């Protein structure tokens, strides 16, 4: 009933999050002696992950569930696999062509499941079925398929149907809906103050559809829903997990908590109490408790004292075994990652969700221009290096790179060169904010007002695009892509510099050819 976080790398010196990821000796002890149910992995390339998954399975007496947050494909977390655009890109396509969007979502599910199986992952912590109708949502944001329940439901179920082409588990998250918050539950406990009628109309339909599509698991959210339970967060509430999810919605699969190291739950109660209350609420699997030994001991003591009935534990074990039997008897998949068909699907989604102005193209500068690239965190921008299209393509037109962190923008107004502005911004866990800071807005406004900006490219948030569109002249060229990966950069910049991507050497099948 316990799933712990583990590094996807093979060696201890590669561990990136030591507060959450145990070293080899500790992890091996937990798996061998405590019979943990599984691990959730982050880090390492796709090829390395295959070896890591085999290693972890070899340490366990009972076959493991191996999970990963792969909402945008294996390549989102593990380089080498296919990295799809964020789900909201499909929601944008749905507005114009629902059938095509569903087709893309199904292909996304199939490819993600196939590649997961190839690297040893058997549990997809996807899809997100939250309805992101709050533009200030810092954590769900473009991870959602959209801001309307019918769109989210249609695309999430298509993803689930596609994934079921392979023997992996799927997950609908975050119950009962994390889309209408301005607080990141990784940092604090958000509250959803809506009435029952509103929850029934907006938040619940995608979960109902996912359950009807036989989703394998549902992840609970660290949210306070006062209309249902004024005291306990959803993760720890029997009124929500058992009465609403199990009895009212009829869900019979696995219930898994969101990570129990998140601020939204650690600030509520001690690790010992959280573990016991999660089981009492009806969860089958506790994801990422701070210390699995403490969680196990706490639950054991609660059973011995009679606080938790042995039958309650047996019910979860039965569901876990049923889930494991569906995925652990599968034959090993051929290691095929990011094949031509998958990359073409990514290209097509990016192209069909791309937005551009009608202001014309950018041409070569007679003098050196500036390619100003703004990222949330320079040290954590996996989509960007010196050979990325965002850097190399503008160089051909005499725009020289300047890469800055969004928190260190003050210096950019000291440079008077004509500027191509590229902004990488999206909602992400632990970010704490969804969009531009007041300071960033002021600096961008000055850059645009003084005529220095020759074009703008935004990667990620459509809410940021909306702000830029409210202040720019209609004659200023711009492009917007939901994706941030190299394919997204190449397609967006090609739209600004040339309508013919082949003139720029764009070749998505071989790293763009720059």
258 catalytic? Reply is yes
Cα dist from 468 to 280, 302, 406, 436, 447, whole Å: 48, 55, 16, 10, 12
Please identify which of the residues 147, 216, 229, 258 carries the catalytic annotation: 258
Strands 419-425 vs 453-460: parallel, antiparallel or unpaired: parallel
Catalytic residue from among 186, 216, 222, 347: 186
Output the six-digit token pair for 120.
């040893």
Per DSSP, 84 falls in state P
Q: What residues form DSSP beta bridges with 453?
A: 419
Phi, psi of 437 (to 5 degrees): -75, 165
Please give the Cα distance from 464 to 467 (Å, whole number).
5
Going by C-alpha positions, the residue among 50, 57, 59, 49 that lies closest to residue 9 is 49
User: Strand, coil or helix: what is 23?
Assistant: coil
Strands in 369-375's sheet, in edge-to-edge order, are 355-356, 478-481, 453-460, 419-425, 369-375, 399-405
Half-sphere exposure of 227 (CA within 13 A, CB side): 11
Q: Where are the alpha helices (DSSP H) in 203-246?
A: 205-212, 238
13 assigned to active site: no
**Which residues face 423 on adjacent strands?**
374, 458
**Of 103, 29, 96, 42, nearest to 68 (Cα)?**
42
Reported in sequence order, the residue ranges of 84-150 that DSSP labels E, i.e. its strands, are 123-124
End-to-end Cα separation, the chain, in angstroms:
49
Strands (E), 103-169: 123-124
Sequence-distant (≥ 6) Cβ neighbours of residue 76 within 8 angstroms: 70, 83, 84
Strands of the sheet containing 2-7, edge to edge, are 123-124, 65-68, 38-42, 2-7, 286-287
Catalytic residues: 186, 258
């Amino acid at each position: 009933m316990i799933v712990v976080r583990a590094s996807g790398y093979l060696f201890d010196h590669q561990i990136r999050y030591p507060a959450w990821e145990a070293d080899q000796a500790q992890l091996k002890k937990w798996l061998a002696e405590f019979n943990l149910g599984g691990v959730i992995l982050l880090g390492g390339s796709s090829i390395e992950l295959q070896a890591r998954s085999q290693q972890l399975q070899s340490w366990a007496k009972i076959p493991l569930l191996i999970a990963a947050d792969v909402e945008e494909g294996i390549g989102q977390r593990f380089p080498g696999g296919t990295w799809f655009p964020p789900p909201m890109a499909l929601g944008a396509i749905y507005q114009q062509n629902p059938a095509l969007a569903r087709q893309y979502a199904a292909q996304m599910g199939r490819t993600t499941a196939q590649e997961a199986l190839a690297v040893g992952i058997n549990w997809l912590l996807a899809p997100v079925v939250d309805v992101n109708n709050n533009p200030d949502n810092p954590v769900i944001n473009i991870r959602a398929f959209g801001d309307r329940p019918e769109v989210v439901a249609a695309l999430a179920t298509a993803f689930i149907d596609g994934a079921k082409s392979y023997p992996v588990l799927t997950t609908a998250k975050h119950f009962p809906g994390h889309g209408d918050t301005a607080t990141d539950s990784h940092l604090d406990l958000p509250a959803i103050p809506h009435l029952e009628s509103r929850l029934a109309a907006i938040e619940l339909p995608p979960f109902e559809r996912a359950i009807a599509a036989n989703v394998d698991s549902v992840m609970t959210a660290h949210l306070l829903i006062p209309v249902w339970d004024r005291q306990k967060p959803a993760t720890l509430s029997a009124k929500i997990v058992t009465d609403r999810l199990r009895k009212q919605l009829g869900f019979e699969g696995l219930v898994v908590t969101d990570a129990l190291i998140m601020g939204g739950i650690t600030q509520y109660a001690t690790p010992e109490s959280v573990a016991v209350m999660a089981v009492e609420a009806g969860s089958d699997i506790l994801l990422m408790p701070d210390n699995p030994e403490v969680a196990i001991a706490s639950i054991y003591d609660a059973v011995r004292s009679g606080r938790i009935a042995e039958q309650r534990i047996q019910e979860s074990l039965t569901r876990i075994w049923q889930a494991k039997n569906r995925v652990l008897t599968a034959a090993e998949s051929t290691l095929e990652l990011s094949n031509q068909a998958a990359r073409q699907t990514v290209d097509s989604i990016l192209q069909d969700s791309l937005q551009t102005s009608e202001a014309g193209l950018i041409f070569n500068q007679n003098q050196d221009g500036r390619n100003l690239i703004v990222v949330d965190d320079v040290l954590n921008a996996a989509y960007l290096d010196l050979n990325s299209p965002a850097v190399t393509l503008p160089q051909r037109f005499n725009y020289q790179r300047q890469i800055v962190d969004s928190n260190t923008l003050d210096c950019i107004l000291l440079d008077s060169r004509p500027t191509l502005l590229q902004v990488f911004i999206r909602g992400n866990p632990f970010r704490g904010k969804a969009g531009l800071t007041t300071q960033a807005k002021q600096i961008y406004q000055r850059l645009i007002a003084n005529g220095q900006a020759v074009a703008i490219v935004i990667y990620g948030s459509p809410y940021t695009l909306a702000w830029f569109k409210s202040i720019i002249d209609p004659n200023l060229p711009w492009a917007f892509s939901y994706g941030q990966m190299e394919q997204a950069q190449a397609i967006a910049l090609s739209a600004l510099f040339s309508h013919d991507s082949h003139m720029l050497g764009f070749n998505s099948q071989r790293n763009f050819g720059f």
